[in-house]
Amino acid sequence: MNRLQNLFKNKTNNLLSIYFTAGYPELNSTVAIAEALEKSGADFLEIGFPYSDPVADGPTIQHSSEIALENGMTLHVLFEQLKDLRKTVSIPILLMGYVNPIVQYGVESFCKKAAEVGVDGVIVPDLPMYEYEALYSKYFIDNNLSNIFLVTPQTTEDRIRKIDELSNSFIYLLSSSSITGGSLDVSTGIEDYYKRIKAMQLKNPMIIGFGISNKTNFDKACEYANGAIVGSAFVKLLQDEDYLSKIPAFIKSIKS
């Protein structure tokens, strides 16, 4: 059992995950941000590794990726930065990024290295279910890494069941069909969608992401799921000069 699975075993509501891009705002800010987030009360973390063509991301995360690449962030650099991570950070960590940098690194080597530095799961939005299952799942399983799948309001029930079957920690529920950094849709349609999925009684917990930026929509998301992920709103905070000192207040403002 990895840290992620362990977390969900012990805590089933109001889980807060924070996304940030490795190498942003500074090349070496990655570990310090992770430490500050754990101290401030985040339940788990998603560390993004940057890609030049992030189609699922809105302007805020696109910008952070561009800066991170300019700063010299690569998967090799990131794994080097994370090699002592587990001495100071104990909450579950996911890596999030696009498939091409992983393919270039080598999927098997990537999984081994991720496990070695203490990563618990991976989110790769553009890695399709078929390719995951047929080509790569063995590397994830061998290294005790959870692969996280996304579900949108348009995902069919059959497909959600299949995703539930392939998942072993949580399912990432998108608040709407959108790129990152939008606003949370609280129309009736979206409530129906959350209720529909809740009624399916899936074996995996659910975490809502995309458009979660403050306490109001975090609380709303937690009514329907086990927790929520804040990404763009946190990445925006990192634009401030003294971003590390502002992290505790940010987490408190969402999860008080």
Partner 1 sequence: MKYGVNDLGYYGDFGGAYIPEMLYPNVEELRQQYLTIIEDPAFKAEFDDLMKNYVGRPSPLYHAKRYSEKYGANIFFKREDLNHTGSHKINNAIGQILLAKRLGKHRIIAETGAGQHGVATATVCALMGIECIVYMGEIDMQRQAPNVSRMKMLGAKVIPATSGSKTLKDATNEALRDWIANPVDTHYIIGSVVGPYPYPDMVARFQSIISSETKKQLLEKTGNELPQYVMACVGGGSNAMGMFYHFLDDENVKLVAVEAAGKGVDSGHSAATTFLGREGVLHGSRTILMQTDDGQVIEPYSISAGLDYPGIGPQHAYLYKINRAQYVSITDDEALQAGLLCSQLEGIIPAIETAHALAYLEKIQFKKDDNVVICISGRGDKDLDTYIKYFGF
Of the pair 74, 144, the CB lying nearest partner 1 is at 74
189 binds partner 1 (CB under 8 A): no
Residue type, 30: T
State the nearest-atom distance from the C-beta of 195 to partner 1, in Å. 20
Catalytic, 57? Answer yes
Residues 38-97 that bind partner 1 (CB under 8 A): 51-56, 58-59, 62, 66, 69, 74-76
* C-alpha span between 59 and 61 (Å, rounded): 6
* C-alpha span between 43 and 251 (Å, rounded): 10
State the nearest-atom distance from the C-beta of 66 to partner 1, in Å. 7
Of the pair 131, 191, the CB lying nearest partner 1 is at 131
Catalytic, 46? Answer yes
State the nearest-atom distance from the C-beta of 175 to partner 1, in Å. 11
- Three-class DSSP category at 251: helix
The DSSP element (H or E) to which 63 belongs, if any, is helix 59-71
CB–CB of 171/227 below 8 Å? no
CB–CB of 251/37 below 8 Å? yes
Residues 128-147 that bind partner 1 (CB under 8 A): 128, 130-131
* Size of site (CB under 8 A) for partner 1: 41
- Sign of the dihedral defined by the CA atoms of residues 232, 235, 240, 246, in that order: positive
**In sequence order, what are the beta bridge partners of 229?**
17
The DSSP element (H or E) to which 248 belongs, if any, is helix 243-254
Residues 157-186 that bind partner 1 (CB under 8 A): 159, 174, 177-179, 182
Of the pair 88, 104, the CB lying nearest partner 1 is at 104
Q: Interface residues with partner 1 (CB under 8 A)?
A: 51-56, 58-59, 62, 66, 69, 74-76, 98-105, 125-128, 130-131, 149-152, 154-156, 159, 174, 177-179, 182
